[in-house]
Amino acid sequence: HTFDLVIRNAHAATASDTFKCDIGIQDGRIAQLGLGIASGSKEIDAQGAWVTPGGIDGHCHLDEPIPPPLRMADNFETGTRSAACGGTTTIIPFAVQRKGQSLREAVSNYHDRAQDLACIDYGFHMIITDPSEQVLQELPGLIDEGYTSFKMYMTYEDMKLNDHQILDLLDIARTKNAMAMVHAENADCIEWLTRRLEHQERISPRYHAHSRPMLVEREATHRAISLSELAGAPIMIVHVSGKEAMDQIRWARNQGITIYAETCPQYLFLTEQDLGCDDRYEGARCVCSPPPRDKNNQQFVWQGLSDGLFTIFSSDHAPFSYDSPEGKKPGGKQVPFRRIPNGIPGLETRLALLFSYGVLDGRLSINRFVELTSTNPAKAYGLHPRKGTIAIGADADLVIWSEDPQTIQNINLHHAVDYTPYEGIGLRAAPGLTLSRGQIVYEHGTFKGAVGQGQFLRRTAPTLQPIHSPGSENQ
Ligand code: DUC
Ligand code: ZN
Ligand code: ZN
Ligand code: ZN
């Protein structure tokens, strides 16, 4: 046989094309595309189903060390297993710098956490929490070694940076051509609102949303844009939740400022009401930051996905079990919203939700779907063209879609979290088979991969084109 594996009768989609073909795979890479190609040692008949590049989740949190009793439910084994079962073949989680720690220590700690456990390929963004003089000197070397992106927080007491610190880091992003990611929420406004709510004894989960309204995101988004403009370095604004933040991004692009933007499933499928309409604690399940907004904002986010305002679509998977002293009930207790760990799981459901409600419901072209979930994250984070496309020479990271109606149920998911915020949502399609470098890692409900098979990806500089106005590209 000529190939290790041939996928016959694929309806392939990339960010720019759709075509019917057979896909010849050799040594983990795509070796030939065409109709009637030679035989493989193994053959899979896709029977005309959609075949897309494996998903790249450019924003997820796994096994981050956090103060006890809290602990993330997913480590690199359960997290990557869940990702693979949802059609994702590459993840870029975060290596968090603790205060006083060098970036080198932070990154090597994460290698230890991932190395023997990851089932799919991975890189690390750094999270910089302490940009001391030594850290500013050390950062360029780490970028050269393939950690070509880092995240900066404008909120969270233990993570937040001030504007001066952000400018120092953006200056390095500019000279080293790294991708700077920004979590844009105004910390002082959130703290002031939180204290006011606490004085009013408004502490149940639903008040989390009241403590961080759109205004605090809008302000920080505009400030992040200003800092980006001042430093002359493009930024990726992560987890954009609705219209007012989107308006700032559109404004920036109309000024000729290159701003990239990410959104996530929670801003399409959840609303503030999911945090509760009364004081019941169940709403803690959907506590994440920024919080989900309202139905109107969901429609604006859909519009931004279709018209090019958004560059990428990621999960922001942050895995805390609900009924757990390590998760949403710290120490076993129902706590005031201030102390509920922020984040929801979503690695496994990201692609099926966007494919069903975006592509099959006619809101997005299949090409735009591929761009948002795979090609653009590959370009933004220096993995393209090895990852993020179907092309000769690219890694054989592929999804064969199955258009069987089904319902999301946590019992069918492969993460270690005890709930999904998307329980009961219907799907028109889901990944039926996932290949990671030519190996089947998921097939019809069952994980087929192997622990430790994932490889660390040394990444290059971003290769996204500058964006100067929404809709001027990506369509
Ligand atoms: N918000 C974050 O900033 N990070 C993790 C999860 C969340 O909700
Ligand atoms: Zn052979
Ligand atoms: Zn964030
Ligand atoms: Zn996050």
Could you tell me if the ipTM is greater than 0.85? yes
Rounded (10°) angle between helices 214-231 and 243-254: 20
Kindly state if the Cβ of 85 falls inside 6 Å of ligand 1: no
- Residue 397: the pLDDT is 99
Q: Specify the pLDDT at position 466.
A: 83
This prediction's pTM: 0.97
Handedness of CA 301, 303, 309, 313 (dihedral sign): positive
Closest Cα to atom 2 of ligand 1: 289
Residues 311 and 317: their CA atoms lie apart, in Å, by: 18
Atom of ligand 1 nearest to the CA of 287: 8
Q: State which residues of the chain have pLDDT below 70.
A: 468-475
The amino acid occupying position 370 is: V
Out of 155, 239, 266, 285, mutate this one to test ligand 1's pocket (max ligand atoms within 8 Å of CB): namely: 239
- Asked whether 343 lines ligand 1 (CB < 6 A), one says yes
The number of C-alpha atoms within 13 Å of 301 and in the hemisphere containing its C-beta is 28
Q: Among the bound ligands, name the one nearest to the CA of residue 94.
A: 4
* 61 within ligand 1 shell (Cβ under 6 A): yes
Distance 127 CA to ligand 3 centre (A): 10
CA of 42 to the centre of ligand 2 (A): 8
Q: Which residues surround ligand 3, an ion (CB under 5 A)?
A: 183
Ligand 1 pocket, 288 CB below 6 A? Answer: yes
- CA–centroid distance, 343 to ligand 4, in Å, is 8
Q: Which atom of ligand 1 is nearest to the CA of 183?
A: 3
CA pair distance 298, 291, nearest whole angstrom: 12
Q: Is the minimum distance from the CB of 318 to ligand 1 under 6 angstroms?
A: yes
pLDDT at 474: 44
Residue nearest to atom 5 of ligand 1 (CA): 343
**Cross-strand bridge partners of residue 91:** 57, 122
Angle between helix 295-307 and 243-254 (nearest 10): 30
Ligand 1 neighbour 59 (Cβ under 6 A): no
Query: Which residue has a Cα nearest atom 4 of ligand 1?
Result: 343
Note the pLDDT tens digit of each residue in 322-343: 999 999 999 999 999 999 999 9
CA pair distance 433, 352, nearest whole angstrom: 12
Q: What is the pLDDT of residue 470?
A: 56
Q: Which residues are within 8 A (CB) of 110 and not within 5 positions of it... i.e. 6 or more apart?
A: 93, 95, 124
